[in-house]
Amino acid sequence: MRYALRFLQHAWRNGAVLFSVLMFIACGGGGNQSAVENSNCAKQWQEYANNPIINFGQTIDNSIWNDPSVLKENGGYSMWLTGGTGLGINFVKVYKATSQDGLVWNIDSSVLLGPPSSNPVLLVSGTVSPNISGGEFVLINEDIPIYQRTAPAVGNEWYVWQYTSGTPSENGYYITDIPAGFGSFIWKCTENDASYPECPLGTYEPVNGATGNITLSEKTPAFDSEKTETPSVVKAGQTYHMYYSAKQIGDGPGRYTIGHATSSAGITWVKDAAVNPVISYHNDPGKWGFYQAAEPGAVYDSQTGTFFLYYVTARSRSGYTGDLALQQGIALATSNDGSNFVPYDSDSDGELDPVLAQTSHYPVTGNYVGYSTPFAFIDNEGIFHLFYDVAMYPASGDWRQVALAHATSSDGYSFTEVEQDIYVYNTGDWKNHEVRSPSVLEEGGIFKMWFAGNNELFFQSGFQIGIGYATYGENCNQ
């Protein structure tokens, strides 16, 4: 993956690193654990007083906004972000917001990227009475959700629908010809039951006098049939490229691949038909690349025409079980066309190597498990920056993103962590429960960061979630 130009670029950037680091130290950089105020800098990171600047339910009722990816363009800012109500399946989709000042945002309610509109398609098999054999169901309401049969029998329409309270008294999924009538539910699949873990897929047993079992199976689900989230948008020439976390229906918890789409204006997106997903995981727990490939953070190096795609993956951690058994690190793949990627293999042994794994500041003995949601950019001096959040288990089974950190590199491959705990959780404010998903731009020597957080578990009393804003170096005398 390296070539002659890389050597020249590396040599030039090494000199830039020294200059950048000296300037960084002069302005009190290196993490808020050493927040130095001097004649050149009044503060390090300064959080906007009225955070969050994008709030729960803004533009779309009950929508949870998360995962910002920001570009400076057209005299203002564009943000691609994920939103969803937290109800039903395939509820996470990508939207776009615009702002003139980076503080006041207008969110377009149109979905820019989501699971295929016809997904999932459920196929019917089984001989039953009343007759419902043949045909297929498509999703028509994702919040409940409700699936409608595409070729219903004469005289009625058949539905698969979810019920969670009221009548019928038993929660689960039902097949019926009257979705709002509740008295005519005919077959039932118990949600989250060990026998039928993937309702509405699975076996439906007769109730209320029906006979025979119905089995619903999915018709080749797309790799992103359940969720499209954590967008990372870059512009190469006149083309926008979006990389996103994709989840397939029926895949296990936390299992993601990375999808790719392109656009001429950043609004209408076309998913990559030739290569998708562009990054996948494998099933060998002892090697990096295990279990998931998710949360992309892309940057385009215009000097070399190279796409650097940073993302989160995992491997097993020797000597640990339970919550701490998996280590999360930041991996890298590169591409010359934005579609065909080569994994980073530093020692040429045929195996993926991370560019950044958890440092001693975040030890496993403190229940830290690694890093998440990287965001990358190249500054005016050619230095690569990675901003990311830190994952840990404050309590058993309670995985959270609890801090923001920062690393730099002269070549995009070898990173050094230069800031820890830029912002942390457990602070009593809007990001008390979690802080995550940084997106950073450099303008005139100032770092501008948008990031997400929430103060409580979803929908608890006093729940607050949204996207905040902070700057670094805004008060520096330069």
Residue 51 has pLDDT above 70, yes or no: yes
- Is residue 89 domain-shared with residue 156, that is, in the same domain? no
| Domain residue limits at 280 | 4-104+224-472
Q: What angle do CA 172, 248, 70 make, to 5 degrees?
A: 115
Q: What gap in Å lies between CA 381 and CA 473, rounded to an integer?
A: 16
Count of alpha carbons within 13 angstroms of residue 221, beta-carbon side: 21
- Is residue 200 domain-shared with residue 89, that is, in the same domain? no
**Poorest-confidence range of 257-266, 279-288, 423-432, 458-467?**
458-467
178-193 average pLDDT score: 70
In a domain, 151, yes or no: yes
Q: What gap in Å lies between CA 355 and CA 352, rounded to an integer?
A: 10
Question: 189-203, 311-325, 446-460 — which one is most confidently predicted on average?
Answer: 311-325
CB-based contact 19:408 (threshold 8 Å): no
Verify cis geometry, omega within 30 degrees of 0, for the bond prior to 277: yes
- Is residue 349 domain-shared with residue 459, that is, in the same domain? yes
Residue (of 113, 475, 127, 82) closest to 262 by Cα position: 113
pTM (two decimals): 0.78
DSSP state of 282: B
- Is residue 197 domain-shared with residue 261, that is, in the same domain? no
- Is residue 298 domain-shared with residue 417, that is, in the same domain? yes
Residue 4 has pLDDT above 50, yes or no: no
> Mind listing the pLDDT tens digit for each residue in 106-131?
999 998 988 776 556 788 888 888 88
In a domain, 115, yes or no: no
- Average model confidence (pLDDT) for the chain? 85
Burial readout 429-450 (b: 16 or more C-beta within 10 A, e: otherwise): bbbbbbbbbbbbbbeeeebbbb
CATH number of the domain residue 326 falls in: 2.115.10.20
> Mind listing the pLDDT tens digit for each residue in 196-249?
566 788 889 998 888 888 888 877 778 998 889 999 999 999 999 999 999 987
**Poorest-confidence range of 51-55, 253-257, 280-284?**
253-257
pLDDT grade, residue 9 (50/70/90)? very low
Find all residues with CB under 8 Å of 358, minimum gap 6, and list them.
Answer: 327, 328, 329, 364, 368, 369, 370, 371, 390
pLDDT at 106: 98
Count of beta carbons in the 10 Å neighbourhood of residue 136: 17
Residue (of 70, 109, 80) closest to 269 by Cα position: 80
Domain final residue pick, 218, 237, 264: 218
CB-based contact 423:435 (threshold 8 Å): yes
pLDDT at 166: 63
- Is residue 170 domain-shared with residue 90, that is, in the same domain? no
pLDDT at 164: 72
Distances (CA, A) of 183 to 180, 208, 210: 9, 9, 13
Pairing of the two strands 306-316 and 384-395? unpaired
- Is residue 209 domain-shared with residue 332, that is, in the same domain? no
In a domain, 249, yes or no: yes
- Is residue 243 domain-shared with residue 367, that is, in the same domain? yes
Q: How many domains does the chain have?
A: 2
In DSSP notation, 303-348 reads TTTEEEEEEEEEEE-TT--GGGGEEEEEEEEEESSSSS-EE--TT-
- Is residue 317 domain-shared with residue 177, that is, in the same domain? no
Domain final residue pick, 200, 218, 236: 218
pLDDT at 370: 98
